[in-house]
Chains A and B, each alone.
Chain A
Amino acid sequence: MKSWKKAMSVLVISSMATFALVGCGSSDSGTKDGGSGSKTEAAGTLDAIKKRDKLIAGVRYDANLFGLKNPGTGNVEGFDIDIAKAVAKDILGDESKIELKEVTSKTRIPMLDKGDIDMIVATMTINEERKKQVNFSDVYFKAGQSLLVKKGSAIKSIDDLKKGTKVVAVKGSTSAKNIKEKAPETEVLEFENYAEAFTALKSGKGDTLTTDNAILMGMAAQDADYVLTGGEFTDEPYGIAVKKDDKAMTDAVNAALKKLKDNGEYNKIYKKWFKEDPK
């Protein structure tokens, strides 16, 4: 019976310790407005980049046309990558002074907060909730959410998403949230990244895959059995995210973007990846 008591007291003490921590957390939760641990010294990213002479960008490795690791060469290529390189060129004078790190919808904000990356260029939609966590640059790509289905599917638009329809999405993405609001009857299956989500669609786990049209276009380009359907039902303006309240870095990114648009470089990059002029 003795060790039983010992085990119980360990349990009680550890749960008390947990609640003590909880107590600290809640005591001042009234004063903050949703921001996470980003109140610490946010400035200084720009200085750090210059000092290290290298810009670290968080990008996708799994989104065709935006950021995709080429299995042949090992290079990561895409629209986001070219934009990130152009920003590096503007800040450091050389587009090769960049280091790419893979992020997902789930990991990108924590990685930025921790300082693992200087900025996020990863098909990231600007919205109010995220603005509490990070600073956004001006819009660098205008996307819209759409649906990807197998050719011949009965789903023609978002109105066809009924009870029992299984929708595949990516964890932490705006599109997962949107579809739950716009088609609350459906069952949403959320996966770690776009590659896994597309695999799940292909192996018949869901009836349709939803995310931004730009990413879906990349998937349809990979596998001709799949097509976009129903047009776009949201506006998804993409922005480059930097640390919350880091004005110097935000300004530097915005200045770089503006220069790109003014000197026509932006149009060139856009056309290279999407085979059309910017809308």
Chain B
Amino acid sequence: MSDLLDISILIDYQDVYWKGFFITLKASVFALILSFILGVIIAVFRISTVKSLRWFGTAYVEYIRNIPLLILVFVFYNGLPSIGVNLDSFMAGGLGLGIYTSAFIAEAIRAGIQSVPKGHVEAARSSGLTYLQTMRFVVLPQAIKIVLPPLGNQFINLVKNSSIFGVIAGGDLMYQADIINSETFQTVSVYLFVALFYLLLTIPLSLFVNYLERRLARAY
């Protein structure tokens, strides 16, 4: 028990922890934005009436979500140089993480849109609304409520998955924890403290998603 948590690690290495924290934050924000944009585009492809787009969307989702994130990131980091593209660890990790998460986000959004009963669309269309108006005023407001919880899950997963940066010398929280551990050998303390820093990111994110859910429940 006495050595389970040694607060002096947190005090001595706080600069290192914070350095990792901000890189994790930066990486998460970058990957989050990328994954959301890609996810929306792929979701649109998936429900598109154009066959080739649908086909592309399906292939994208099935390939990306069915391979380990680690491999995706390794390919971006170590594989691309062989075709002349040398990304640094932030770009390689950010792209890998963003693309990986986008497959899950695309599925969540697609499921949300498709869960809106067909009758609503037909009713809107026969009332004279255009396709875009139908989407804007009928489908999306209903879909977003269904999409939000799984989307929040994906974003929280994304923050935690950013620990993948640790294996490509990305300088994030996980990487710094490994370095601190190698200097102190206080394995349990080092990683429990790093967990606190992750909570600092994920708990507010969770609360924010919960808040949004309640707001939207009220709105309609």
Q: A residues touching B (Cβ–Cβ < 8 Å)?
A: 3-4, 7, 11, 18, 21-22, 24-29, 32, 36-37, 105-106, 109-110, 133, 171-173, 176-177, 189-192, 196, 199-200, 203-205
Give Cα distance in the complex from A126 to B121, angstroms: 73
Q: List 24 A-B contacts (CB under 8 A).
A: A3-B210, A11-B203, A18-B196, A21-B4, A22-B5, A24-B1, A24-B5, A25-B3, A25-B5, A25-B6, A25-B189, A26-B6, A27-B2, A28-B2, A29-B7, A29-B8, A32-B3, A36-B3, A106-B181, A190-B179, A200-B77, A204-B81, A205-B77, A205-B89
Please give, as numbers and ranges, the residues of chain A lying within 8 Å of B1 by CB-CB distance: 24-25
Pick the residue among B8, B169, B178, B196 that contacts A205 (CB under 8 A): B169
Closest chain-B Cβ to A84's Cβ sits at a distance in Å of: 22
Interface size, B (range): 35 or more
B167, A192: Cβ atoms under 8 Å? yes
A191, B2: Cβ atoms under 8 Å? no
Chain A, Cβ-Cβ closest to B187: A110
Q: Mark B54-86, 1 if CB is under 8 A from A, else 0.
A: 000000000000000000000001110110001
B3, A172: Cβ atoms under 8 Å? no
Chain A, Cβ-Cβ closest to B167: A192
Q: Kindly state whether residue B185 has any CB partner on chain A within 8 Å.
A: yes
Give Cα distance in the complex from A88 to B4, angstroms: 34
Please give, as numbers and ranges, the residues of chain A lying within 8 Å of B183 by CB-CB distance: 177
Closest chain-B Cβ to A225's Cβ sits at a distance in Å of: 14
Give Cα distance in the complex from A27 to B78, angstroms: 46
Starting from the known contacts A109-B185, A172-B182, 18 additional A-B residue pairs (CB-CB under 8 Å) come to A3-B210, A3-B214, A4-B207, A7-B207, A7-B210, A22-B7, A24-B4, A25-B5, A25-B189, A36-B185, A36-B186, A105-B182, A106-B182, A190-B175, A190-B178, A191-B169, A200-B168, A205-B77
